[in-house]
Structure 1
């Protein structure tokens, strides 16, 4: 019987990933690094064990979509509106200043202006998948530097539309006019607004009807459909797949079912997301890296330091302390996966010579591999920078540390988690409320959750047998 090549490739990835992951965890190294090293080892420039690379890349893209979907569940539309200053001003300045600085440096080295601007596009983007995965693992999505980093990443994802539209113009194609660029960009932004509005009205109502069926299977299938379906919709309007998944999660964040949705999606997200990090490693050409090791090392150093300094300055302008600005800058100082998409398009438009492409690819992947280490070291580096510049007293720094570890459970400490809101659950909640003990309730009946919320109870829809639901309820602080 013939075995499909994709199945064999997946088996090889798992066979190599598991021992590498075990070794990394035993050595206390970030798992993301182990997965990317796995990709390097089994990829075309390694042992060449993977044949169906395009199939692996499709599965990896699903992992990125599921990751952005779960992040969206942490950021409701209301919270995103509160972050508009970070998204629009912080993200806009980061993209604009990075493009300008990179283009200026490239022109100084004799590159044409169009090519220099394109280089700026490549450097301006950061890795949404790697940064968010690192923040999720460290429980820092809702920290001050986590919110700042995610806001900038969101603006970068939206700016990709403009960059892709501008590439033919930079390449000198006569068929593309500035007017058509503006029209296409305006259409995409209008479509984005309509998609968010439509999803906000329709998705929670649709999920509510599915919940009434009391079927875990139907609930899971619906959640996956909403995630992948919204990604498909946004991609047809020139936006990224990941942005659509984020929107789907964001509009469900305020629903009663967000915690249960997260717990259902997490196993799939982690498996598919692992394939993404392996696929990144497979892009690296080891022979070229060895042949140009010195130049690539200099390029990596300049990219990370330059980008971190730009982001640090922007976060400081927005009024954040030195420590948070430093941690944000180090967290998103790498090159992003969407830069690879732009690089391919730039090659077609004669904006990126093959030698530059290979060097850029090697430097980008190394910057991605370095990211988990930079994020781990960023608190200590941030504290060191704060102590030198002294923009606040010790009390301010301690408050910042408290903010960093504030979770999505609302900051509850020493609270009680009530499982079920039946007769006993209601009686216990009444007693705890009377004696002033904080509590949160988990309930699987959607109607009960809705009625209790209307009365002001702190209650969430979720299965208390699921680890992620309990983490959202703050079980580690209970």
Structure 2
């Protein structure tokens, strides 16, 4: 009996090669994504030997896009974005504009049409959120201020790219590509207006009805106790909403899946939804990168090496320098500027989606897709080296550049308490390091108790807001002795550190004890091992999240049952 198995063959080859090359990439300290792209190149038509079904791989990659964007939506936090909006929004817009202009410039130099140059420049302007999150997690700085700024910056880039994906089809005819059916039925502006109206209608339905219906459906399904049904419901939400959005509102699969994840995040089942969908999401995301690799023509590295170098220069140098200057212009430290620069010095999933759409609309030549892929491969492979070079580069710049030292040491109005600060904040006060969820609750308790406190926070925008509320606050990393000096730690009664970084904690403790030997220190820790090391340093008040939660819950249980409290 003969079997028609191109789908099975494509899946087997794609997953197998991705496993092998992903493993090899991780072993040499390169993101596994590079291995997935190489796997696609080897089973694609651009290399000799076995060739997988490109058409089937393309359809599988569409599922990968849906699940990938669903995952981005699940992790998208509007609150986190608003916390860094004053630097992330203008920074991302200006940086994307500059990168797009650079891409258009080299495309014009190569003799491409301006429409092709626009798509090419936009593809080079948006960095990979997946690559960034993995890089920040590997270095333990995802929850730091630098990490939040970098993630917020990329979220703005993602939202801007989603808007481009929506507007690109109706604009294709004007840009020199193939005119879509919708664009041929009326004037350009009428088509754009209709497209934006459909997108707005879809978003309104998702935000109004979706955020009520989806959580209710998940609750009903969870009551059955069936894990399989819950997982199925999450996948149906991701793919079903993406498909329905495309069919009913002419919205891209990517945007539909993104809003499905964003709405699901609002429910109390968001963490479980992310956990249940993760294996399937990872699997199809791998197929997406493999299918993208299949479109790559390796011969371009030999035929047009100068073009490839130009693309890499825009991604790694052009975008990084633009981001560096923008962050410094917003008066953030050199370390923050270098971290954001390294974060943006790569391109990934959205670049592939944009370039693929440009290819399908007849805007981008095949050479453009190959150049985007080459730039992605090289930039992602080099990205870990850029992150590793941040601190050595910062020291080198400060040692050799008088301008850099002036920028690093320049007077920031929020880096010191104003002269009008009341005396009660400058003597016997509490210095509160970090104003996140934990810090805010501690501050509220001190406020209600009439205890004076000074906040030391790395988020400059948050410090500005606190000052406007009449709360004493200084901007900067409290690991820097100057920040604690400005918070008047020498006259403080207590230092309370709510940030989780153990290295910074030790520097804060050392500075506080040097300036104020009698100060009481209260720290927050994420693990028992970490808290034990801190206690060995002579710090008695170390609070561990799980430990305090267990104490509170056990105390409640014992009190309700009338048993004596544990010692």
TM-score range, shorter chain: 0.7 to 0.9
**Alignment deviations for residues 76-107 of structure 1 (CA, whole Å, 9 cap, x no partner):** 44445555546643443333333344445655
For 1:378 and 1:208, locate their aligned partners in 2 and report how far apart those are by CA, in whole Å.
46
For 2:98 and 2:478, locate their aligned partners in 1 and report how far apart those are by CA, in whole Å.
28
Closer, same or farther in 2 for the Cα pair 1:285/1:64, shift >3 Å?
Answer: same
TM-superposed CA distance for 1:67, in Å, is: 3.4
Unaligned runs of 5+ residues in structure 1 are 436-478
Note if contact 1:141-1:147 (Cα within 8 Å) is conserved in structure 2. no
For 1:258 and 1:397, locate their aligned partners in 2 and report how far apart those are by CA, in whole Å.
34
The corresponding residue for 1:9 is 10
Matched, 1:308 2:320: yes
SS state of the match for residue 285, structure 1?
coil
SS state of the match for residue 546, structure 2?
strand
The corresponding residue for 1:427 is 557
Which one of 260, 265, 285 corresponds to residue 248 of structure 1?
Answer: 260
State how 1:174-185 maps to structure 2 within 5 Å.
175=184, 177-185=187-195
The corresponding residue for 1:417 is 546
TM-superposed CA distance for 1:405, in Å, is: 6.4
**Alignment deviations for residues 326-349 of structure 1 (CA, whole Å, 9 cap, x no partner):** 322332333444445554555677
**Alignment deviations for residues 154-190 of structure 1 (CA, whole Å, 9 cap, x no partner):** 3222232233433321218795744235414532441
Closer, same or farther in 2 for the Cα pair 1:29/1:124, shift >3 Å?
Answer: closer
**Alignment deviations for residues 228-253 of structure 1 (CA, whole Å, 9 cap, x no partner):** 22322443434442333332222233
Note if contact 2:9-2:52 (Cα within 8 Å) is conserved in structure 1. no
TM-superposed CA distance for 1:284, in Å, is: 1.8
For 1:228 and 1:425, locate their aligned partners in 2 and report how far apart those are by CA, in whole Å.
45
The corresponding residue for 2:67 is 66
The corresponding residue for 2:337 is 325
> What CA RMSD, in Å, does the superposition of the two structures yield over aligned residues?
4.2
For 1:379 and 1:274, locate their aligned partners in 2 and report how far apart those are by CA, in whole Å.
32
TM-superposed CA distance for 1:208, in Å, is: 1.8
The corresponding residue for 2:197 is 187
Whose Rg is larger?
2
**Alignment deviations for residues 4-54 of structure 1 (CA, whole Å, 9 cap, x no partner):** 112122222333333333433333333222222222222222244232222
Note if contact 2:359-2:365 (Cα within 8 Å) is conserved in structure 1. yes
The corresponding residue for 1:18 is 19
The corresponding residue for 1:153 is 158
Which one of 154, 159, 162 corresponds to residue 167 of structure 2?
Answer: 162
Point out the more displaced range, 254-263 or 60-69: 60-69
Note if contact 1:322-1:382 (Cα within 8 Å) is conserved in structure 2. yes
Which one of 393, 396, 400 corresponds to residue 477 of structure 2?
Answer: 396
Unaligned runs of 5+ residues in structure 2 are 410-457, 459-475, 484-497, 503-523, 528-543
Note if contact 1:231-1:243 (Cα within 8 Å) is conserved in structure 2. yes
Matched, 1:196 2:213: no
The corresponding residue for 2:217 is 206
Which one of 235, 240, 255 corresponds to residue 246 of structure 2?
Answer: 235
Which one of 366, 377, 394 corresponds to residue 378 of structure 2?
Answer: 366
**How many residues get paired?**
428
The corresponding residue for 2:310 is 298
Point out the more displaced range, 50-59 or 87-96: 87-96
Matched, 1:257 2:269: yes
Note if contact 2:41-2:293 (Cα within 8 Å) is conserved in structure 1. yes
Closer, same or farther in 2 for the Cα pair 1:19/1:165, shift >3 Å?
Answer: same
For 1:262 and 1:125, locate their aligned partners in 2 and report how far apart those are by CA, in whole Å.
24
The corresponding residue for 1:37 is 38
Point out the more displaced range, 100-109 or 149-158: 100-109
For 1:179 and 1:140, locate their aligned partners in 2 and report how far apart those are by CA, in whole Å.
45
The corresponding residue for 2:236 is 225
Closer, same or farther in 2 for the Cα pair 1:156/1:311, shift >3 Å?
Answer: farther
Note if contact 2:66-2:242 (Cα within 8 Å) is conserved in structure 1. yes
Closer, same or farther in 2 for the Cα pair 1:359/1:242, shift >3 Å?
Answer: closer
For 1:256 and 1:83, locate their aligned partners in 2 and report how far apart those are by CA, in whole Å.
25
Closer, same or farther in 2 for the Cα pair 1:422/1:222, shift >3 Å?
Answer: farther
Closer, same or farther in 2 for the Cα pair 1:413/1:122, shift >3 Å?
Answer: closer
TM-superposed CA distance for 1:317, in Å, is: 4.3
Q: Normalising by structure 1, what TM-score? A: 0.73
The corresponding residue for 1:56 is 57
The corresponding residue for 2:472 is none
For 1:12 and 1:110, locate their aligned partners in 2 and report how far apart those are by CA, in whole Å.
38
For 1:290 and 1:13, locate their aligned partners in 2 and report how far apart those are by CA, in whole Å.
26
**Whose relative contact order is higher, 1 or 2, with alpha carbons under 8 Å and at least 6 apart?**
1
Closer, same or farther in 2 for the Cα pair 1:206/1:98, shift >3 Å?
Answer: same
